Each structure stands twice: as structure tokens, then as C-alpha cells.
Amino acid sequence: MRRWILAVAISAALAGCASQEAESNLPKGISLIESVSLADSEVGIAYKKYQLANGLTVLLHQDSSDPLVHVDVTYHVGSARELEGRSGFAHLFEHMMFQGSQHVGDEQHFKTVTEAGGNLNGTTNTDRTNYFETVPSNQLEKMLWLESDRMGFFLPALTEEKFEVQRETVKNERAQRIDNQPYGRMGEQFNQAFYPQGHQYSWPVIGWPEDLERASLADVKNFFKRWYGPNNATLTVGGDFDELQTLAWINKYFGEIPSGPEVTSDTKSLVTLDKTRYISMEDKVHLPLIRIGFPTVYARHEDEAALDLLSNILGGGKTSIFYKNLVKDGYAVQAGVSHPCQELACQFSMYALANPAKGGQLKDLEQKMKESIEEFEARGVTDEDLQKVKVQFEAGTIFGLQSVSGKVSTLAFNQTFSGNPNMIASDLARYANVTKADVMRVFNTYIKNKPMVVISVVPEGQKQLIAHEDNFTPPVLTVSDAAVEELDTHQQITSSFDRTVMPAAGEAPMLKSPELWRGKLANGIEVIGTESEETPTVELVIYLNGGHRLVPVSKAGLAGLTAAMLNESSQKHSAEELAQALEMLGSRVSFGASGYQSYIQISSLTSHLDETLAIVEERLFQPAFKSEDFKRLKQQQLQSLQHMMSDPNYIAETAFDGLLYGTESPLGVSSNGTLETVSGLTLEDIKAFYRQQYTGGNAQVVAVSNLNESEVLAKLSGLSHWTGEASTLPALTDLPELKGGTVYILDKPGAAQSVIKIGKQGLPWDATGEFFKSYLMNYPLGGAFNSRINLNLREDKGYTYGARSYFSGGIELGVFEAKASVRTDVTAPSLVEFAKEINRYQANGMTDKELAFMKASISQGKALDYETPYQKAGFMRRIQRYGLDANFTDKQTEITKSVTKSELNQLAKEQLKLEKMILVIVGDRAKIEADIKALGYPVSILEL
């Protein structure tokens, strides 16, 4: 911990010097607040903090490792700034602020960023709203222009029509993410019981539907005036940029925006309960769920760290008491404990998904949870408990610094909620200083014998499974007279320059593809890697060709279940002992399987790589394959399958694949398996598949670390004795002949939305051939946010939260697919619009403007492709798996720049014939079937 403290001391000393030296060079109106630098050996985030005269806080972080910049504007306003009966405004604004401003046209924000080769989004939670873009570094001025225009010039462009469209979009988002999802409404019902009436966290961030209905355009304008001034915002820029030039741009675009009303922090008072509150709800689910919550403190309270450690001991993985008593003993399919904190309040949260094979009674699970709490009290806190959580927190902090966006988000978060971006060292110290006595003290203060909220979520018609009869009814909400006080403080700005002129991009940056090395272990296993000095971490993935594709259809689910077994005990140690060892190292090791491969993902601090790989080798080469582990995991997979059948998206995906590839093909059956196939699996099947799949001949390795080639190969020497031949994939069955134009309906009574999938068999993946060109062709149709399909169904019609189309391919086959979740009442009109857009594009192709947009967006976006270790690993895996040259992306760029409109439009004619496509809809049949038949489509009903 000393090095962290030293880093703070260095930072503080440098801050004073920098302030004196740089102040005279700054644009007028900008003040340097502090400069934080770190010695080369330190781990942290270097930055400079400035403030404009209007109160805008500016944070700059230099990182020249990639030719990109990440821009974040965080406003200290979330749903906690709303009033009772007037919820949803902060989230609505997240949508509204993308709809154009005085000098940025309708739908131009997304178009401008995407065309610049960037990506963007916005998020809202209880306490803040942020907007962010990652773009090539030469596009920075353009991003500052965009963000400043919506901060200072949003209201002149706000219209009733835009407001209504985005209100519909938010309704669709709520239907898709909450109303049409298993357990989707649990959180908002829980919070009504957990918080006192009128508390800012007692209503959902997305808002109550009736609150959204009563909102007016005047309410929206006043909410903006109150909360979206520069004095309530933090602008953070990270990446490769010229500091003085960036400050000049910031001063130009943001400096003349007047300060908004004064903003003060809300009072932080602890939430309390007078007694235990029981509530329950029925839902379209398979697994009964119980959730228990205790009110505790608020973010960065002196007791927060000790409560986090307590939650980890009780329910933080395989070494926890909850896992031992609930999951391992088979009473729950899943269980866990966490302590999420927000600015004004934290919850000590416990949950368990009941295993119906044990009866599914939630009162029994509640008793088990109480007994687990009592066991903790008797057991106490061990030295290992403290050490593992502290190591995990430090490791998590370091892994969080692997991307510019991660560092920018950390700086913005800390500034917004503490006024100090430099909180890494103090946060680490908070956890490092927690004692056993602290953990027991917070247990006694906030958990032991304290009132709690208990919610039971049970399948429809099974109220007999609830933990306890309800003893709490949410109060009738009062509706505030106004959403926010009416303000006359907004000033029309007379700008000193012409803001209608979009800034030109700077000189295109030099793209930095990762420098790759290729090596082999003594037994011939191929390793491809790259050296990255940004963090002292290692990301390794061991791939094994095969996966679900290697499995007979009659044994679907075997690849995943075998991988799950390898996450359990070895011949030397129990699963708990191995998990404990990894936790003490701050490492993560996970065996998994997908369609064409099994894999082992490994994340480690470089200093702990040897110990981590020793655990990997023990699990890989000496699995115990205990019958009790197999029985438990098999039961969990069966229950998980039952649970997924309540998810309309999973239902649509499995039905679509079955029709496309046939249920006799492994591509037409989910890699999760079916109830029938998983029920028939035996432990002998697991052992046989392990021998077939986990061989040296199937293995390839991808490595991203701060070690060089020879160091990585030396570390991997334990895999050099791995033997076994490569497996041969069985032949695929013939593809079924699709009944083009047929609509297949799967009935989900009461569904809040209809899930639509339209598509056909497509091309296998290639890097530079027809598949890649089809990807380019589809980009204006459904590949970008401002594509034809999304603008039509989401922005123009308000039918959906989002609609897309894409080509997806593997080594053998591929698919073209268009999809959306739409309001039930517009299912048939949505089909009409999908058909209209696909047919029109197939017949006429893209326009010259769309061609130019696609070329600019995809070519410039290459600058963002290799930033994180995960992105680098994916890039290398494609090279390894498909036998590509390291410069294949350069060839893609050449194709993108040279491909002609006629060539792409010819592809559209060939690939987008709607009459060859099938249409799958999961929705309420009684409400949608007649309208679909009226369109003239042949309709076939599929059984779930």
C-alpha cells in the first residue's frame, strides 16, 4: 500500500508547481485547479483538473497508446432529482439530448459520431446522467462542438413532436427491459417497500408509466433549465490529444454557456425500517425467487467498506457461506449477497433462486438464509476473508485501468460524487484498513436482528410458494404539482462564432495495429500474442476447437456441462479451495464452451501469473469429476433451461435457429441443450467428451500482457506436455428448405411486446470476401443506429426501442437477420415497415450519401478496434482461427474505400430477397394473429 500513498504525495507536490507554471498559458476564463502525475512505477490515473468561469469542471487525461479520444459529460442529475409522481425525467432527457439542438439537426448527433468512426451512448441512474463518445483522435473538436451545443442550445430545437417520439421510445424501452423480462418488475416493487414514501430511490429510474403520461413539454423544458447547466457538469477527455489546443476548444465551445441555477447535494440520511416487510408478486417465470434487503449506509460512508467485505464473506462466490448452504446443497440454483451503494443509500442485498426439485418453497429458503447469517455470527471473520477481498479490490482497480474509457469514467465518477477525481489511493486504503472487528461491528449494527424487506417472486398461480403472506401495501403515490420549479433563468446565448459550421476533422491519425508475435510450445500448440505496457496484467485464452459443434444433437448441452465440471473440484483440491486460492491472487479462471469451441479464460496480475497457471493446469489435467458435482450442475442446467423458456428473446432465438438449420443439426439446437438431451447426459458422457475435446491437438492460445514473447512462452511451459490429437468435426446434415414468407408464431399470452426475427441462411464468415462486403452493404440498412430500419421503426414510428439487421457467420455457415422487440399493438404494422425497408433496399440499394457515410464510418472506426486487451485478443483470435495475415484489416480498409455502389447494390439484390426469408414472432397470439393474417402472410403456429 505504500506505493499508493507515495503516488498521492508526488501528485500533491506536482500540483502546486504546475499551477504556477501553466496558469499564464491558459485561455482566459480557465483556471487550473490541480495537476496529478504518477511516477512510472505507480498505478493510478494522471490528470489535470480545470474549471471554467461558468462552473464547468474539466478533467484531462493523456494516454497516447491508441489514436483515439474518449469524451464524457456527466451531469449530476438522475432520478433522485425528481419528485414523487413526476418520475422518469432524467432518463427521458438521456433520450431527448440525442435529438438535435439549435445547430445540430435532427438525428445528426448519432450520424455525426458514427460517420466519424466513433461510437456513443448515454446512461442514466439514480444519481447522474452521462453522455460519452469514443472517436479517432482527429475528431475531438467535433465532439466538443456536439456536446456544447446540447448543453447550451438544446431548448431552441425542442419540439412537441420530438418529445412525443421519445416518450414512446422510453415506453418501448420499459416494455422490452422490464415488463417483458422475467423478474423485470421486481426491483421497482422492492424499492417501494424498502424506501419511505417520497424517497428519491422509491421510484424507478425509467419512471412509472403514468408519470411519463402526465409529463408535458413545459415540464421537460423546466427540468433542463434546472439541472443541465455547466456548473452541474463534469467534462472529461482522455486519450491522445494536444492539451493546450483542447483547452482552447473547450473554452471556445463551452465558455460562453452561462451558469445554471445553484446546485447543492441532497441530504444523506440513513434509511430505516420499523419492521420486516413482506411483499410478493406473480410473474411469468419458472424459478421462484426470494430477495432480502437491509438498509445500511450510503456511498463512501465510513462503514461501506466493512459492509462490502461482510457481503463477500456471506455470498461472494464458491467460498461463501450462502454458496455452501444453498447452492452446493441443492436448495437454490443460484444465490448471492452484495452491497450495492448509491449516493444517498446502500442496500445489503441477498437473493436465491429456488430449486423446484427441492420443492421450491421460499419460506424454506428464507430459513436457510437466516441460518447462514447465524452461522457467520458463530464463525466470525478470518484473516483469509479480509485478505482475499482486499486483493480482489486492488486487482479490480488495476483491471479497470485497461481502457481510456475506464479511466475517464473513474475520474468523472469520483469528481461528480466526491469533488475529487483522485480517489483511487484513498479507496484502496479504506479497504486495506478494515479489521475483523469492523466487520463484526457493522454486522451487529445493520444486519443482526434488524428489520428487512423480503420479496417473493413466484410463477403465476403459485402463491403457495411465497415466503410469508404480505404485510405491506405500497402507499398511494402523491403527485407533485409540478415536475420541477418553473425557472426564468435560461439565457439565450449570442455566440461569438458561427456554431452552424461543424468543425472539420484534423489530420487522420496513424492507425496502430497491435504488434503481434507467433510462437509454439514444445508440443506444437500455437500461441499468438502482443505486448501491452498499459497495466501489469495478463489476459490469456486457451481455445479448443470443437465445442457444441463436436457434440451429437442427442447430447446437446454436453460441451457446456463438461466445461462447468472443469470449474469444480480437482483430484487434489475441492472447488472451494481452488476458488479461495484464485481469490487470494485476485485472478479469474473460467472454463466455458460455445458453438465451435471450448475455452479457458484467464485474467491475472502479472505478479501472480505462475500461481494462477498452476491452478489452471490442475483443473485442466486433473479434474475430479465427482458424481455429486455432476448431479448438482446437471440439475442447475435443467432448471436454467426451464427459466430461459420464460424469456421471449431466448424462445425466439431457439425457434429461429431450429427452422433455419433444422433440429437434426447442432446449429439448429441451442448449445445449452434441451430438457430432453440434458436429462439424458451421464457422468460417463462428461468424461468421454473431456477426452475428446480437451486435447493438445485441439488447443491454441491467445495472450495479451506486459510480458514479451519469450517470457509468455516460458510461463506456458506447463502446457508443453499436453498430448492428444485434434478432433474432427462430424459432417453437417443438409440444410432444410425454408418456407420463405411464412410467419411462425409462438404464443406467449400476456406478453408486453412481440419479438420479431426475420432472416435466412447466409454466408460463412470471411475477412475480405463476399461476407465482408455484405456487412458493408447492410450498414445503411440496419447496421448503424441511424440506419433505415432503426430510424423508421424507432425514431419515426415509435414502435420499438431499437431495430437492427446484420450478417453473422461462422467457419461453416452464416445468417442474415433483422430483428426488433415491438409493442404488441403494432406487431403487424412493424412487419409492414420491415418488409418495406428490406424490399426497397433490395430493389434500389443504397444512395451515394449512404455509401459515403458507410465508408467514412467503417474506415475511421478502425482506430478504436484494438484499445482493450479483450479487443486485442479478439483480433488475434480471428487471425489464428481463420489463418489470416496480420494485415488483414488493411485489406479490409482498402476494400471499404474502393468498393463501388453498384457492387454493393448487386449484393443487396442477391442477399436480401424477402420471399426467401422466414419470420418468427414470439408474442400474444390472441392479439396479433388476425392482423398478421390480414397482411396476407401464411401463418404457422409453433409450440413452445
State the SS3 of 439-457. HHHHHHHHHCCCCCEEEEE
**pLDDT above 50: residue 7:** no
What is the domain-level CATH number for residue 521? 3.30.830.10
Residue 23 lies in a domain: no
**pLDDT above 60: residue 785:** yes
Q: What is the mean pLDDT of residues 728-737?
A: 93
pLDDT tens per residue across span 798-809: 999 999 999 999
| Vertex 792 angle, CA 786 and 794, to 5° | 80
- Examine the fold and report which residue of 719, 754, 769 is the final residue of a domain before the chain moves on: 719
Same domain for 229 and 116, yes or no, is yes
Residue 663 lies in a domain: yes
Q: What is the mean pLDDT of residues 374-393?
A: 91
Least confident of 90-94, 253-257, 346-350, 653-657: 90-94
- Beta carbons of 1 and 430 less than 8 angstroms apart: no
pLDDT for the residue 868: 84
Residue 552 lies in a domain: yes
Same domain for 248 and 396, yes or no, is no
**pLDDT above 70: residue 22:** no
**pLDDT above 70: residue 478:** yes
pLDDT for the residue 11: 40
| Residues contacting residue 609 through CB under 8 Å, at least 6 positions apart | 538, 705, 707, 715
pLDDT for the residue 16: 42
Q: What is the mean pLDDT of residues 693-716?
A: 96
pLDDT-derived band at 3, boundaries 50, 70, 90: very low
Q: What is the mean pLDDT of residues 294-314?
A: 96
pLDDT for the residue 44: 78
pLDDT for the residue 481: 82
Output the average pLDDT for the chain. 92
> Grid coordinates 442550445 are at which residue?
153
**pLDDT above 70: residue 128:** yes
State the SS3 of 880-924. HHHCCCCCHHHHHHHHHHHCCHHHHHHHHHHHCCHHHCEEEEEEC
pLDDT tens per residue across span 574-601: 999 999 999 999 999 999 999 999 999 9
Q: What is the mean pLDDT of residues 934-940?
A: 95
- Examine the fold and report which residue of 426, 441, 465 is the final residue of a domain before the chain moves on: 465
pLDDT for the residue 488: 67
Comparison of pLDDT for 870 and 272, the residue scoring more: 272
pLDDT-derived band at 24, boundaries 50, 70, 90: low
Same domain for 766 and 680, yes or no, is no
Same domain for 656 and 755, yes or no, is no
Same domain for 639 and 711, yes or no, is yes
Q: What is the mean pLDDT of residues 116-144?
A: 95
710: number of Cβ within 10 Å: 10
- Kind of pairing, strands 588-593 and 68-75? unpaired
Q: Which long-range contacts (CB under 8 A, 24 or more apart) does 666-669 make?
A: 666/548, 666/549, 666/551, 666/552, 666/553, 666/556, 666/595, 666/732, 667/549, 667/595, 667/732, 667/812, 667/813, 669/553, 669/556
Q: What is the mean pLDDT of residues 879-885?
A: 93
> Grid coordinates 418495406 are at which residue?
836
Same domain for 520 and 663, yes or no, is yes
Same domain for 456 and 383, yes or no, is yes
pLDDT for the residue 10: 34
- Beta carbons of 814 and 820 less than 8 angstroms apart: no
Q: What is the mean pLDDT of residues 458-474?
A: 95
pLDDT-derived band at 39, boundaries 50, 70, 90: confident
- Beta carbons of 543 and 699 less than 8 angstroms apart: yes
- Nine cell digits for residue 661: 438449420
Q: What is the mean pLDDT of residues 692-716?
A: 96
pLDDT-derived band at 12, boundaries 50, 70, 90: very low
What is the rounded distance in angstroms from the CA atom of residue 562 to the CA atom of residue 551?
A: 11
Percent of the chain past pLDDT 70, that is, above it, reads 97
Task: Return the closest-CA partner of residue 916 out of 807, 734, 694, 758.
Answer: 758
Least confident of 385-394, 630-639, 743-752, 790-799: 385-394
Least confident of 211-225, 542-556, 785-799: 211-225
Can you say how many angstroms the Cα of residue 691 is from the centroid of all Cα atoms in its chain?
35
Residue 48 lies in a domain: no
666: number of Cβ within 10 Å: 24
The burial class, CB within 10 Å (0-12 / 13-18 / 19+), for 691 is exposed
**pLDDT above 90: residue 146:** yes
C-alpha torsion 23→25→30→31, nearest 10: -10
Same domain for 593 and 687, yes or no, is yes
Same domain for 547 and 455, yes or no, is no
pLDDT tens per residue across span 260-290: 999 998 889 999 999 999 999 999 999 999 9
Same domain for 365 and 244, yes or no, is no
Residue 863 lies in a domain: yes
Residue 526 lies in a domain: yes
pLDDT for the residue 865: 81
pLDDT tens per residue across span 255-265: 999 999 999 98
Residue 661 lies in a domain: yes
Same domain for 250 and 291, yes or no, is no
Domain total of the chain: 4
DSSP 339: -
Same domain for 814 and 679, yes or no, is no
The parent domain of residue 315 ranges over 277-406+413-465
**pLDDT above 90: residue 509:** no
Q: What is the mean pLDDT of residues 241-252?
A: 96
pLDDT tens per residue across span 625-650: 999 999 999 999 999 999 999 899 99
- Nine cell digits for residue 780: 445503411
Q: What is the mean pLDDT of residues 837-861?
A: 95
pLDDT for the residue 618: 97
**pLDDT above 80: residue 2:** no
Q: Give the phi and the psi of residue 757 in degrees, each rounded to 5.
A: -130, 130
pLDDT for the residue 15: 43
The answer, as to whether pTM is greater than 0.95, is: no
What is the rounded distance in angstroms from the CA atom of residue 743 to the CA atom of residue 746?
A: 10
Percent of the chain past pLDDT 90, that is, above it, reads 79
**pLDDT above 60: residue 18:** no
**pLDDT above 90: residue 616:** yes
| DSSP SS3 for 400 | coil
Beta bridge partners of 32: 50
What is the b/e burial string over 596-633, where b = at least 16 CB atoms within 10 angstroms of the residue's CB? bbbbbbbbbbbebbeebbebbbbbbeebbbbeebbebb
- Beta carbons of 234 and 269 less than 8 angstroms apart: no
- Examine the fold and report which residue of 719, 754, 785 is the final residue of a domain before the chain moves on: 719
What is the rounded distance in angstroms from the CA atom of residue 385 to the CA atom of residue 658?
A: 47
